């Protein structure tokens, strides 16, 4: 049942980190109502996708110029300068 919940959450477009956080809260609620879950059972029977990390890199000079040009062509955003 819990694996079905994980799959259902993923199909709804919820991110992997959010699913893990929600599962942690769900597990606390289950414990509160008297249903105990074992770490070993969770590791053995449930599969979570890995949390993806976006590669970060510094902006290039061209990217900075495109950002500035985007601000300069929009009259509403010129006030922000």
pLDDT, tens digit (0-9, with 9 covering 90-100), for 3-51: 888 888 888 888 888 888 888 888 888 888 988 887 777 776 777 777 6
Ramachandran area for residue 34 (φ above 0: left; ψ -120 to 50: alpha; else beta): left
Is residue 67 helix, strand or coil?
Answer: helix
Count of the separate structural domains present in the chain: 1
Question: Rounded to two decimals, what is the model's pTM?
Answer: 0.48
Q: Say how far residue 40 (Cα) sits from the centre of its chain.
A: 25
- Residue at 19 is within a domain: yes
Residue 9 CB partners (closer than 8 Å, separation 6+): 18, 19, 22
Residue-range definition of the domain harbouring residue 15:
1-50
- Residue at 72 is within a domain: no
pLDDT, tens digit (0-9, with 9 covering 90-100), for 35-45: 888 777 777 67
- Residue at 79 is within a domain: no
């Amino acid at each position: 049942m819990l694996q079905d919940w994980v799959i259902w959450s993923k199909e709804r477009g919820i991110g992997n980190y959010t699913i893990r956080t929600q599962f942690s809260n769900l597990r606390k609620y289950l414990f509160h109502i008297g249903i105990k879950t074992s770490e070993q059972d969770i590791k053995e029977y449930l599969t979570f996708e890995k949390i993806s990390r976006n590669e970060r890199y510094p902006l290039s000079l061209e990217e900075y110029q495109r950002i500035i040009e985007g601000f300069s062509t929009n009259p509403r955003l010129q006030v922000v300068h």
